[in-house]
Amino acid sequence: MSLLQQKNTLSPEEYLAEEQQATLRHEYVAGTIYAMAGAGEQHNRIAGNVFFQLRAKARGSRCGVFMSDMKLRIDQGVCFYYPDVMLTCDTDDTEIHFKENPCLTAEVSSPLTESIDRREKLLAYKKIPSLNYYLIIAANRQHIDYYQRDTNQNWQLATLALNEVIHVQYGTGENAYEAGLCLEDIYEDVQWL
């Protein structure tokens, strides 16, 4: 029996050590671990589409795009989440098992995870100084809400409409990153049951 199964609470260091050996992924919130369920085809296609759009623009740059197997560490290890997609352009964010300074996170939300994505994760993600975009993408219908930090460091909520583009930008000059995300590309080839 692993330490993850034996203890009610873990330190961040214990969590990281055990998570490397675990057969299931777990998110970590203030000492408590939560097993993650597997995702279905719609979820995977949507996350893959977001990854593809962001990665296409990141090729050859200092930015990295990660899917659901890269952890995000928040508040010096108070929380570890596995965002469905994460974009990071901070060259100092070099830890190989987790990232701390993303500029974008995206969660593909099911009816079971939506309340966590809209409350718990939203509050945690807003604490990340480098984060400028947080997308909550519905897996059961075409609907995307996104939070974007404005120039005054305030978060603005919007719903992505047909033919609208979210312009994801980071940095300036030759190190600048820019990509566009639209509803049609994010839901490309998704079959509704």
HEC letters along the chain = CCHHHHCCCCCHHHHHHHHHHCCCCEEEECCEEEECCCCCHHHHHHHHHHHHHHHHHHCCCCCEEEECCCEEEEHHHCEEECCCEEEECCCCCCCCCEECCEEEEEEEECCCCHHHHHHHHHHHHCCCCCCCEEEEEECCCCCEEEEEECCCCCEEEEECCCCCEEEEEECCHHHCEEEEEEHHHHCCCCCCC
pLDDT of residue 1: 38
pTM of the model: 0.89
pLDDT of residue 16: 87
pLDDT tens-place string over residues 62-75: 999 999 889 999 98
- What percent of the chain shows pLDDT beyond 90? 67
| 107 vs 13, residue with greater confidence | 107
Question: Which of 3.90.1150.10, 3.90.1570.10, 3.40.50.1220, 3.30.70.2190 would CATH assign to domain 40-186?
Answer: 3.90.1570.10
| Interatomic CA distance for residues 110 and 31, integer angstroms | 25
pLDDT tens-place string over residues 20-35: 888 888 888 988 888 8
| 99 vs 191, residue with greater confidence | 99
Do the bridges between strand 71-74 and strand 102-109 make them parallel or antiparallel, or are there none, so unpaired?
unpaired
Mean pLDDT of the chain: 90
Locate the domains of the chain by residue range.
1-36, 40-186
| 36 vs 145, residue with greater confidence | 145
pLDDT of residue 4: 47
Whether residue 92 has pLDDT greater than 60: yes
Confidence tier at 7 by pLDDT (50, 70, 90)? low
